[in-house]
Amino acid sequence: MLSSYGQTEICYDDVGQGEPIVFLHGFPHNRTLWNAQLAALQGEARCIAPDLRGFGGSRGAPPYSMDQYADDVAALLAALGIGPAVICGLSMGGYVAMAFWRRHRARVQGLVLMDTRAGSDPPEGRARRDEMIALARERGSAAVADAMITGMVGKRTREKCPEVVDEVHRMLASAPVEGVIGGLQALRDRPDSTATLGTIDVPALIVVGSDDVLTPPSEAALMHAAIRGSTLEIIADAGHVANVERPAAVNHVLAEFLGKVRRSRGREGGRTR
């Protein structure tokens, strides 16, 4: 499906009924990252998965930023007539989720931060982003996919599930170059969200693959300690895209969390934030 406002077009999937949950993909993914979650959870929730600006079928003018991605998601929810929702973001999608909380917290019923971190890029990390931007400009998205794939999936997945590795590599390689460059700039320049964590007062779930080398469990533990009342789930034998590598395990913890959000909302008598 397609939603447009101004010169921006956001492609998205919208399946199921019930409490809404919005799935925000990482870099350089698209909304198909969440196919297994939409298939498993649509019986108990309204599942919305957009392509972020510049990725998949979505189009929007640069410059890109976490705030702009978050505002695009807010505009989509407004167009769909959706009030408070659970916001679930993986990797870059987690950065967008934290920006969404800062800018649109009345629309947040719960937060899922998956394989992500709160801190901004250190100087060496910013330099690596610039190197990747140069690679994308010179050799395209396939070269970016080649450079990223080893860190993107866990060791066990690479050894035991080559079909998953191929699936993820195809997704990375298919990303539009303009979106890849814009996304890298947004990642490089994103703000530090550490202070944001202490302001989160809705149910929060932190999920991380045990073998994630890009945003390791130590980063998840720091977020868990900073978000009062949060839940931490470590997915065994999964890397940075835990929801693709171990979909059943991730679907289970997401379903449990959605139940927790419903119970929390019920205790508030249906009151929205």
Neighbours of 207 (CB within 10 A): 27
Q: For residue 242, which of 259, 254, 224 has the smallest C-alpha distance?
A: 254
Model pLDDT, residue 266: 74
Amino acid at 62: P
Model pLDDT, residue 268: 66
Per-residue pLDDT of the chain (273 residues; tens, 9 = 90+): 888 877 899 999 999 999 999 999 999 999 999 999 999 999 999 999 999 999 999 999 998 999 999 999 999 999 999 999 999 999 999 999 999 999 999 999 999 999 999 999 999 999 999 999 999 999 999 999 999 999 999 999 999 999 999 999 999 999 999 999 999 999 999 999 999 999 999 999 999 999 999 999 999 999 999 999 999 999 999 999 999 999 999 999 999 999 999 988 777 654 443
Neighbours of 43 (CB within 10 A): 12
Q: For residue 69, which of 82, 80, 54, 84 has the smallest C-alpha distance?
A: 54
User: In 3-state terms, what secondary structure has residue 211?
Assistant: coil
User: In 3-state terms, what secondary structure has residue 52?
Assistant: coil
Distant-in-sequence, close-in-space partners of 139: CB < 8 Å, separation ≥ 6: none
Amino acid at 256: E
**213-249 as b/e: b if 16+ CB within 10 A:** ebbbbebbebbbebbeebbbbbbebbbbbbbbbbbeb
Model pLDDT, residue 4: 82
Q: How much is the pTM?
A: 0.95
